[in-house]
Amino acid sequence: MAWDLKDKVAIVGIGETEYTRWGRIQRSEFSCACESILKACDDAGISVKDLDGFASFSDDRNDPTSIATAIGVPVLRFSNMMWGGGGGGGSGAVMNAMLAVATGAANYVVAYRSLCQGQFGRFGQSRGGVRVGGAAAFQAPYGMLVAGQSIGAIRARRFCSDCTR
């Protein structure tokens, strides 16, 4: 059964911060996230107190509960993180926000992403010389994340005792 979202949801506001060259922003990702969300509420003509949901993607470092507390959201009913990056992550976050509204899980959901690459290194790029463990041990040595890593071929190879070479 396909979802018919017509007349059930709408994007009503957009907010953004200034764009700067890599590594030159003088404030935190968190403050940028808060500012852009407040601007989106203003653009939509709603109070920040009306917000009750947050959707983001690609392991955003800005936790929805922290943002909600900082900007004064009284009740957080929906929180979601789309675990994909690249071109599809943002679209996934918007779709998750739409579905939350359409199903009644929340009334006003903001889809957001805050990224200040100069503060944490280039997004998706290896940080050579840093000791890593877990899944990152199979990704970090190879630099930028690629399909083979995302799908899990490198991690799966470790457990293949009978794999053909």
Q: Looking at the structure, do residues 74 and 140 belong to the same domain, yes or no?
A: no
Confidence of residue 1 (pLDDT cuts 50, 70, 90): very low
- pLDDT of 55 > 60? The answer is yes
Over residues 16-35, the mean pLDDT reads 87
Per the prediction, the chain carries an average pLDDT of 80
The tally of domains found in the chain comes to 2
Over residues 69-78, the mean pLDDT reads 96
**pLDDT value for 45:** 97
Structural domain includes residue 16: no
For residue 104 the two structure tokens come to 């009644």
**pLDDT value for 16:** 93
CA distance 142 to 126: 7
Q: Looking at the structure, do residues 82 and 111 belong to the same domain, yes or no?
A: yes
pLDDT, greater one: 161 or 71:
71
CA distances from 36 to 3, 12, 41, 77, 93 (A): 29, 14, 9, 20, 16
Q: Looking at the structure, do residues 96 and 162 belong to the same domain, yes or no?
A: no
Q: Which domain holds residue 35?
A: 29-120
Q: What is the pTM of this model?
A: 0.71
Q: What is the DSSP string of 84-125?
A: --TTHHHHHHHHHHHHHHHTTS-SSEEE-----HHHH-STT-
Structural domain includes residue 22: no
Over residues 30-39, the mean pLDDT reads 95
